[in-house]
């Protein structure tokens, strides 16, 4: 498939403004608490870096990362998940925010949520920069959503196409040419 960078869907300024709002919301929700942010690699790392810096210093935070690949099919939610890189810390009894770049089918998120609840997290919430309309598999509310976007393939701000374009400061549509 031949591709080309298309129009800017969300500008750098819009992203930063929205992440600021999300950080303030998280700060209010976890005031004086401790939160463990878990970024799902690789796409979430740019968003996570900005999100944690918009959380108030009164909230003590931990950060870790996990990398998973899910092999599910479209009709079941029982597809297996392969953990490529696991957490280095225990999340038992902790208040966890799972950080995603984008939720599409929700299958990745469903798997991670199930793993973390089996490990005894005290609470589990989700922060995602982007949400596509196809979120069918993860049937809980997404707690912190940056932007709802149309069902187009987008890149930038951590999101890739074949590992390229993560460095773009804004979110752009990838066009087929
Ligand atoms: P889900 O399991 O279908 O929700 O897929 C989530 C993962 O698919 C994301 O973490 C991304 O890695 C990838 N993904 C889905 N849509 C896009 C997109 O538009 N651009 C880049 N990656 C995407
Ligand atoms: Mg991803």
pLDDT value of residue 71: 62
Average pLDDT of 66-85? 71
Average pLDDT of 77-105? 90
pLDDT at residue 73 greater than cutoff 60:
no
Backbone phi and psi for residue 24, each to the nearest 5 degrees, phi listed first:
-65, -40
Q: Is 102 in the pocket of ligand 1 (CB under 6 A)?
A: yes
Tokens of 71: 């092999």
Residue-wise DSSP of 56-81 = -TTSEEEEEEEEEEEE--SS-S--EE
pLDDT value of residue 136: 81
The residue that leads in pLDDT, 58 or 72, is: 58
17: helix, coil or strand?
helix
pLDDT at residue 89 greater than cutoff 80:
yes
- What would the pLDDT profile of 116-149 be if each residue is shown by its tens digit? 999 999 999 999 999 999 878 888 999 999 999 9
Q: Which atom of ligand 1 is nearest to the CA of 152?
A: 19
CB 149 within 8 A of CB 130: yes
CB 155 within 8 A of CB 165: yes
pLDDT at residue 163 greater than cutoff 60:
yes
**Within 10 Å of residue 122's Cβ, how many Cβ atoms?**
11
Q: Which of 44, 159, 173 to mutate to test the pocket of ligand 1 (most atoms within 8 A of CB)?
A: 159
Residue 115's H or E segment, with its range, is helix 107-118
Average pLDDT of 23-46? 97
Tokens of 90: 């225990």
pLDDT at residue 93 greater than cutoff 70:
yes
List strands edge to edge, sheet with 154-155: 3-10, 171-176, 154-155
Q: Tell me the average pLDDT of the chain.
A: 93
Catalytic residue among 50, 86, 101, 104: 104
Q: Among 131, 154, 155, 134, which Cα is nearest to 143's?
A: 131
Distance between CA atoms of residues 62 and 145, nearest Å: 21
CB 46 within 8 A of CB 166: yes
Q: Which atom of ligand 1 is nearest to the CA of 42?
A: 12
Percent above pLDDT 90 for the chain = 84
Active-site residue flag, 170: no
Average pLDDT of 52-64? 97
């Amino acid at each position: 498939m031949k591709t080309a960078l298309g129009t800017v869907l969300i500008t750098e300024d819009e992203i930063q403004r929205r992440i600021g709002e999300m950080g303030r919301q998280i700060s209010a929700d976890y005031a004086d608490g401790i939160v463990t942010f878990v970024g799902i690699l690789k796409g979430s790392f740019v968003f996570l870096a900005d999100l944690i810096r918009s959380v108030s210093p009164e909230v003590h935070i931990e950060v870790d990362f996990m990398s998973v690949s899910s092999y599910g099919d479209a009709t079941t939610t029982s597809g297996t998940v392969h953990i490529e890189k696991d957490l280095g810390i225990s999340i038992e009894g902790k208040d966890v925010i799972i950080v995603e770049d984008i939720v599409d089918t929700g299958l990745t998120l469903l798997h991670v949520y199930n793993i973390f609840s089996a490990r005894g997290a005290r609470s589990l919430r989700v922060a995602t920069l982007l949400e596509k309309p196809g979120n069918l598999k993860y049937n809980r509310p997404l707690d912190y959503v940056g932007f709802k976007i149309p069902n187009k393939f987008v890149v930038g701000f951590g999101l890739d196409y074949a590992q390229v374009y993560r460095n773009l400061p804004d979110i752009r549509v990838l066009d087929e040419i």
